[in-house]
Amino acid sequence: MTVLARAIDVTRRYGGVRALDGVSLDIRAGELVGLLGPNGAGKSTLINLLVGLRRPTSGTVELFGGSPLDPVMRRGIGVTPQETGLPESLRVGEIVDFVSAHYPERLGTGELLARFGLGELVRRQVGGLSGGQRRRLAVALAFAGRPKLVFLDEPTTGLDVEARRALWDGIKAFHEDGGTVLLTSHYLEEVEALAERVLVVGQGRVLADDTMRAVRGLVGTRRVSLVADRLPDLPGVLSAERVDGRIDLVVTDPDRLVVELVRAGVPFSGLEIRPATLEEAFLALTTNPPKETAHV
């Protein structure tokens, strides 16, 4: 499958901070890739390198087989950064026309706005839009020039559920037409709802690059929940907390945990074991040292 964007052993430093550390990846045509990672993991830096806003300290970045610094290559992409400033006095339709005019091919203004649930607002001045409407407009603009590849940095941060769904529909429609998307998100359900492939980034490195299912399987964690007054120190516990009178543990080996519990002779009841959610798996991948259950 055609590779649209590629990073080869890319490192990016800002002074003493190593924001990316030997990252290699391909974004292939038709993929919808979710980039997950905690604050400061290097997600925005990776996007900035792939779209040519920054250069790597070492390593190579390619866009459509060329350099992301080449305007001809950049014409094939659409980008919504984490923050955008749109001119307050322009009308929504005027902004779309202004942005579209930079591209050889364009989506009609009405069609673009309808795709993102903004059709009613074509004559509204940007200064009169709500925060959520502005954000949706900023994301819609990434699609104005019929891009092949779209980069969205936290597209739905700050949106309510309805606005988020309207955006998801626009992104999905683009993808169903064959478009390629790389998006970052702090909303794990967003990545679960949209992305087929997940890249987990932590401390500037790619920790996992696989299907959603495989990423969960990779960490192989289980959520164990039980009722007990106290627990001894147990092996393989990644996180432990008391919630509504129960103790919830994320563990790597639930069978061993139960054996150890019984062996310790600790009274417990209401044992439940289920697969970890993506959030739990993600935390386990990027996480701290094992937890001491005796202090829960």
Ligand X SMILES: Nc1ncnc2c1ncn2[C@@H]1O[C@H](COP(=O)(O)OP(=O)(O)OP(=O)(O)O)[C@@H](O)[C@H]1O
Positions touching ligand X (CB under 6 A) are 14, 17, 19, 37, 39-45
In one letter, which amino acid is 48? N
- Cα–Cα dist 181/152, whole Å: 8
Query: Side-chain half-sphere of 184: how many Cα atoms within 13 Å?
Result: 22
Work out the burial of residue 18: count CB atoms within 10 Å of its CB; fewer than 13 is exposed, 13-18 middle, 19 or more buried. middle
Tokens of 283: 């935390």
**Strand, coil or helix: what is 238?**
strand
Residue 40 Cβ, how far from ligand X at the closest point, in Å? 4
Residue 46 Cβ, how far from ligand X at the closest point, in Å? 7
Residue among 40 and 110 whose Cβ is closer to ligand X: 40
Residue 220 Cβ, how far from ligand X at the closest point, in Å? 25
Residue among 19 and 163 whose Cβ is closer to ligand X: 19
Residue among 92 and 208 whose Cβ is closer to ligand X: 208
Residue 15 Cβ, how far from ligand X at the closest point, in Å? 6
Residue 151 Cβ, how far from ligand X at the closest point, in Å? 12
Work out the burial of residue 124: count CB atoms within 10 Å of its CB; fewer than 13 is exposed, 13-18 middle, 19 or more buried. middle
Residue among 42 and 170 whose Cβ is closer to ligand X: 42
Q: Are 245 and 231 in contact (CB under 8 A)?
A: no
Residue among 36 and 107 whose Cβ is closer to ligand X: 36
